[in-house]
Structure 1
Amino acid sequence: MGLFSSEVPTAQPVQRGGVDLKCDHCGHDRFYQGEAQLHTLTGTLFGLEAFEGSADYYTCERCRRMHWFQQ
């Protein structure tokens, strides 16, 4: 979903590494999915952000706790 997209995100069950994800805080099993670029100070200073990693994150539909998984 893009920044100016009219799509409404829907929470869905998630499986990572063959395990169904459950929220660590409330035990709920539906999440909104997103992806984030990871940055370091050194990479930012030298303009190397494109070579740094990214991570998937899942936000619990119920309590909004975020669960992060490095790619």
Structure 2
Amino acid sequence: MGLFNKDKDVPESVKINGKPLICPHCQHNLFWVTQAQLNKASSTFWGIDWADKSASCFVCAECTRIEWFFGE
């Protein structure tokens, strides 16, 4: 799957603020980890998208629900 980190093709368990992440849809506890750029229209217009912040995304290995966390 091209969306996920090619170095980590194996899903992993994740802790957020010391608590295990559990998928609220299927209760699975393994996730693929990736980053997503949070682009603003003005940054895109001026060509400085690289300066925008990013979020950590955790994709459930069972149902593919995506959980987003800002600043993790």
- Structure 2 partner of 1:70: 70
Residues in 2 aligned to 1:29 and 1:62: alpha-carbon distance in whole angstroms? 9
RMSD over equivalenced CA pairs, Å: 2.3
| Seq. identity, % | 31
3-state DSSP class of the match of 2:32?
strand
Q: TM-score normalized by structure 1?
A: 0.84
Q: 1:48 & 1:6 partners in 2: Cα distance?
A: 26
For 1:64, give the aligned amino acid: T
User: Residue by residue, what CA displacement relative to the aligned partner does 1:20-59 show, whole Å, maximum 9, x if unpaired?
Assistant: 0000111110001111111011111111211110011010
Which residues of structure 1 form unaligned runs of 5+?
Answer: none
Aligned to 2:21: 21
Q: Which runs of 5+ in 2 are unaligned?
A: none
2:42 is equivalent to residue 42 of structure 1: yes
If the length of structure 2 is used for normalisation, what is the TM-score?
Answer: 0.83
Mark the structure with the bigger radius of gyration: 1
After TM superposition, where is structure 1 displaced by more than 4 Å over at least 4 residues in a row?
A: 5-8
Q: Secondary structure at the match of 1:33?
A: strand
